[in-house]
Amino acid sequence: MSGFPILSLMLAVPLVAAILCLYAGDRNARMIALVATLIDFALGVVLWANFDIGGAQWQFVERADLFGRFSYKLGIDGMALMLIMLSVFLMPLCILASWDAIKQRVGLYMAMFLIMEVVMIGVFMAQDLLLFYIFFEAGLIPMYFIIGIWGGANRKYAAFKFFLYTLLGSVLMLIAMIAMIAEAGTTDIPTLLNYDFPVEMQTWLWLAFFASLAVKMPMWPVHTWLPDAHVQAPTAGSMILAGVLLKLGAYGFIRFMMPMFPDASAQLMWLVFGLSMVAVVYTSLVALVQNDMKKLIAYSSVAHMAIVTAGLFAFNQQGIEGALIIMLSHGVVSAALFFCVGVIYDRLHTREIDRYGGLAVNMPAYALFFMLFTMASIGLPGTSGFVGEFLSLLGIYEASSVVAFVCTTGIILGAAYMLYLYRRVVFGELTKDDVKAMPDLNPREWAIMAPLAAVALWMGVYPESFLAPMRSDVTTVVARLAPAKPAGDAHLAAGKPKPAAAHGENAHGSSHAGGVQ
Amino acid sequence: MTADLMLIWPELILTIGGLITLMLGTFMGDRQVGIYQLSSLLTLAAAAAAVVALFGVETTVFSGTLSVDAFGGFAKLLIYAASFICILVAPRFFTGAMRAEYPTLILFAALGMGIMASSRDLMTLYVGLELNSLAAYVLASFMRTDERSSEAGLKYFVLGALASGMLLYGISLLYGFTGTTDFAGIAAAMGGELNIGLIFGIVFVLSGLGFKISAVPFHMWTPDVYEGAPTPVTTFFASAPKVAAMALMTRVVIDAMGPAVGAWQQIVIFLALASIILGAVGAIGQKNIKRLLAYSSINNVGFMLIGLAAGTQQGVEGVLTYLLVYLVTTLGAFLVVLQLRDAGGNQVESIPALAGLSQRRPGLAAAMSVFLFSLAGIPPLFGFWPKYLVFEAAVNANLVPLAVAGIVASVIGAFYYIAIIKTMYFDDKSEVDVTGGGNAVEGTIVAASALWLSAIGYLFIPMLAVASAHAASVLF
């Protein structure tokens, strides 16, 4: 398997399919897109199965010096593998979700989604700084079309805002990249990861990267493009936006900013923590008062991403692992929640919460799935959300108890707005006639809900499957950060056993001490 | 003397070919489009072949007034290629009104531009520039009966004459204070203390050249002339003369003013930022696609000037690569404009009329989107690469604030490019039925350039890098 260019193949399949879709009729385009994304998913599974956990940091490396100044170099580590899996897993579901909802210009739509897939997995595979940037930016084009052509009433404004906002952030990153390439003399990411930039330069580079990634993330106060983009985008567009595109920012944090600029990351930790704390509380409160379901979930995404940034900047194993699991979990759960909105939107063509109510009566299966994803979003033990939030909050607590405290309130608020949403949509009296007429899930919708639910539970019950490939990568990052890491305020120390009763004193003492690090 | 003549084959071929084309037109009549078109196209091809044949020659001719080198060769190839395409697409546009003067004037303009790109003396510079300009004034008013075209010609002439005057004044100052018109001699004189006369000379020469590349604040003629001139002529103005003027400016700045970096660099930086910002802001309100592309060319010239401002070999390489990619993009975009015709075959230039073009002419709309995203510099389209190169040159020359300002301003530019894409893709179909105007030749050129710009171009980077490095190394 080692010599086979599986990563290139994963990029080529959707690309070829995208070109075919442009020339195919509506029905064929749907089929081509579904088959291509399923092939890519299958390739992803093969990739995961062949990934050597605990082996070399970079696997499946391919390199071709095609471009003179930079090279076509692909390769993945555990973190990239998991995010690629997330992308290829969500993609066929997105295609299915738009099966009936998209009726106009289907070929173009499917082509845009397939190009989106190429670009997204390309970002995670790229091992060359410029190649990464090209993939990173290229995502703007298909998303601009997806929001602008097939979006809601205010789609043009949202598409512009999305495009220009994210472009403005990214261009500063490009200047930083140019400076890095000039300083280090290479575009090779693995080499750059171990290059020690001068401390003063790091700060500038860090800020430039932050300008770009914070917008993508999105962090408060540059998150305002997200609610607009989400509300206007078609269901599948929101799914992929929340599911994968938001992860690009966090991926950039952990792939570039933290290991490449460890000193600057430590110096500016307060900035990330500060913005994250504001975001968790503020956006949760904003989510609480929304009348638009998609907007509510969009704001909840901002809040979840803020816990991710705080977890990453905790600079310890638990914090980073937790943040990564939240990224994966949020990818699945928010995509599922947007799909839940899409299901009822397709039936009633409104996202206004007050127009619904009592769906538990006539749509029991839907209510069940919606409940599961609501709980996963809140972080109920047993669902994927819990694992990530628990781990990252643990990590954050080690770094700063104040941040941990504020972030935890976000989880409580999260429970408030999600349960409030659920109550208004699903419970209550089934009074409205048009709502009464809504049928329960059809087989296609089942086929989308079931895998999402299965993964959300799998990640909640046995997160080790997802953590294992990433663990050594996180250790590498933590080790890289260790010299710059400021002391946390937790001062964790082994507790002193109480002077116990005379019998069995030694046995008690040792078991206690082992429990705390 | 004879030996010198052997080294200017491209110029000789263009002169003789231009005269033959003129004679053909005069004696066989303007109806014989095929014949004089063919003779002009063959002339350009032969001139290009002569440039290629002279590859590797690095020398100066006619007592050092003209240089034969890779830099000039690179620029000439671009100029000839653009002229070739502008002649190729013209007959269909002018239909019955096509005249033999059109290819003849383009040939003479190409001759003048070739001289501009290889001049290394203030006198040859001016001769080449005027030869090009005079041909261009006539071309702009080529449709005599059309009010807009005549107006464009007149405007171009008046403002162009003003620019030439400024340039000449600058030249006279430079000559007066250095005692020579030779670039190398001027450079030697600038190595010492700069006196006020020299600085004035630099300012005036750069202002005059600023007109020719239509850099802000000398850009006022551009939108009017681009809008008024017949579309094939506009295509020509936006492509070949930009290459020539930019190459000339590079030569003057690096060769003649090289030692006085401090004096010219701030001027070029100002021109660059002003062009990027005003080119972007000015484009936002435009309703005519040709006017919009005029602002876009101003905007792109600004980015090229960033590479020039760096004043390094890397910067010049960036400028040359930028010129090539810009040329392909601009030619493609204007050929798309040429194809925009309503059902009656009339040209459509208004942007609102393009609404819903993606449903009427999906291929054309897709190609136009590629050109526009490429002009905006959004990866993975190839327009990203030259922008990267000029910014890299600026950063490496310690001009980080310039690079940051330029790249942030590029976002303003992106706004109007995506606004046209919005019109073509998001808006409902307009009432104007833009369906006519398909053409195999133009379609092929559009498709080929769109394909090249859509990521395939990246495979040519090694080639481009070698060519531009070879060309740029001449100046250092």
What would the pLDDT profile of A286-305 be if each residue is shown by its tens digit?
Answer: 989 988 888 899 999 999 99
pLDDT band of residue B437 (cuts 50, 70, 90) is low
Q: Could you read off the pLDDT of B309-330 as tens digits, one per residue?
A: 998 999 999 999 999 999 999 9
**H-helix or E-strand spanning residue A60:** strand A59-64
Q: Where in the sequence is the domain holding A314, given as residue range(s)?
A: 300-461
Q: What is the pLDDT, as a whole number, of residue A2?
A: 53
Higher-confidence position of B385 and B96: B385
Mutating which of A105, A130, A163, A212 best tests the B interface, going by the most B Cβ atoms within 10 A? A163
Integer distance in angstroms from the first to the last C-alpha of chain A? 41
CB atoms under 10 Å from CB of A277, counted, come to 21
Residue A479 belongs to a domain: no
**DSSP letter (8 states) at residue A242:** I
B315-348 exposure pattern, b = at least 16 Cβ within 10 A, e = fewer = bbbbbbbbbbbbbbbbbbbbbbbbbbbbeeeebb
Handedness of CA B249, B251, B254, B258 (dihedral sign): negative
Residue of A nearest to B463 (CA): A68
Residue A110 belongs to a domain: no
Residue A390 belongs to a domain: yes
CA distance B355 to B353: 5
**DSSP letter (8 states) at residue B119:** B
Residues of chain A with pLDDT under 50: 1, 505, 507-517
Q: Residue A69: which of B414, B459, B465 has the nearest Cβ?
A: B465
Q: Residue A175: which of B404, B458, B465 has the nearest Cβ?
A: B404
User: Minimal Cα–Cα distance from A7 to chain B, Å?
Assistant: 18
Q: What is the mean pLDDT of chain B?
A: 89
Residue of A nearest to B423 (CA): A156
Q: Residue B271 above 90 pLDDT?
A: yes
Question: Which of A473-482, B111-120, B124-133, B268-277 bottoms out in mean pLDDT, i.e. has the lowest?
Answer: A473-482
Q: Could you read off the pLDDT of B424-435 as tens digits, one per residue?
A: 888 888 777 777
Mutating which of B359, B368, B407 best tests the A interface, going by the most A Cβ atoms within 10 A? B407
User: Minimal Cα–Cα distance from A161 to chain B, Å?
Assistant: 10
Q: Do B378 and A133 touch (CB under 8 A)?
A: no
Residue A317 belongs to a domain: yes
Give the helix ranges, DSSP H, for B191-288: 196-212, 221-228, 231-251, 261-284
Handedness of CA B28, B32, B38, B41 (dihedral sign): positive
Residue A394 belongs to a domain: yes
User: Minimal Cα–Cα distance from B475 to chain A, Å?
Assistant: 22
Average pLDDT over every residue of B260-281: 90
Chain A residues with beta carbon closer than 8 angstroms to that of B410: 171
Q: Could you read off the pLDDT of B390-412 as tens digits, one per residue?
A: 999 999 998 889 999 998 888 88
Average pLDDT over every residue of B281-305: 91
Chain B residues with beta carbon closer than 8 angstroms to that of A172: 404, 407-408
| Non-local CB neighbours of A418 within 8 Å, separated by 6+ positions | A300, A374, A377, A378
Q: Do A168 and B410 touch (CB under 8 A)?
A: no
User: Minimal Cα–Cα distance from A134 to chain B, Å?
Assistant: 5
Q: What are phi and psi of B285, to 5 degrees?
A: -85, 5
Q: Residue A148: which of B378, B396, B426 has the nearest Cβ?
A: B426
Give the residue numbers in A contacting B (CB under 8 Å), as ranges.
66-69, 105, 108, 130, 133-135, 137-138, 140-141, 144-145, 148-149, 155-156, 159-160, 163-164, 167-168, 171-172, 174-175, 178-179, 181-182
pLDDT band of residue B238 (cuts 50, 70, 90) is very high
Q: Do B408 and A168 touch (CB under 8 A)?
A: yes
CA distances to A207, B116, B124, B253, B270 from B168, rounded to whole Å, are 48, 15, 12, 16, 22
pLDDT band of residue B107 (cuts 50, 70, 90) is very high
Q: What is the pLDDT, as a whole number, of residue A55?
A: 82
Question: Which of A378-387, B340-349, B442-451 bottoms out in mean pLDDT, i.e. has the lowest?
Answer: B340-349
Q: Are A333 and A305 in contact (CB under 8 A)?
A: no
Chain B residues with beta carbon closer than 8 angstroms to that of A209: none
Residue A172 belongs to a domain: no
Chain B residues with beta carbon closer than 8 angstroms to that of A156: 422, 426
**DSSP letter (8 states) at residue A496:** P
At residue B328, the 3 state secondary structure works out as helix
Q: What is the pLDDT, as a whole number, of residue A513?
A: 44
Q: What is the pLDDT, as a whole number, of residue A1?
A: 44
Which three-class secondary structure string do you get for A448-475? HHHHHHHHHHHHHHCCHHHHHHHHHHHH
Q: What is the pLDDT, as a whole number, of residue A485?
A: 80
B38-61 exposure pattern, b = at least 16 Cβ within 10 A, e = fewer = ebbbebbebbbebbeebeeeeebb
Average pLDDT over every residue of B182-197: 86
Q: What is the mean pLDDT of chain A?
A: 87
CA distance B356 to B453: 23
* Selection from A2-16, B123-137, B250-264 with the highest mean pLDDT: B123-137
Q: Do B422 and A159 touch (CB under 8 A)?
A: yes
Residue of A nearest to B454 (CA): A138
Give the residue numbers in B contacting A (CB under 8 Å), as ranges.
358-359, 362, 373, 378-380, 384, 388, 391-392, 395-396, 400, 403-404, 407-408, 410-411, 414-415, 418-419, 421-422, 425-426, 458-459, 461-462, 465
Residue A337 belongs to a domain: yes
Q: What is the pLDDT, as a whole number, of residue A509?
A: 45
Total domains present in chain A:
1
Residue A80 belongs to a domain: no
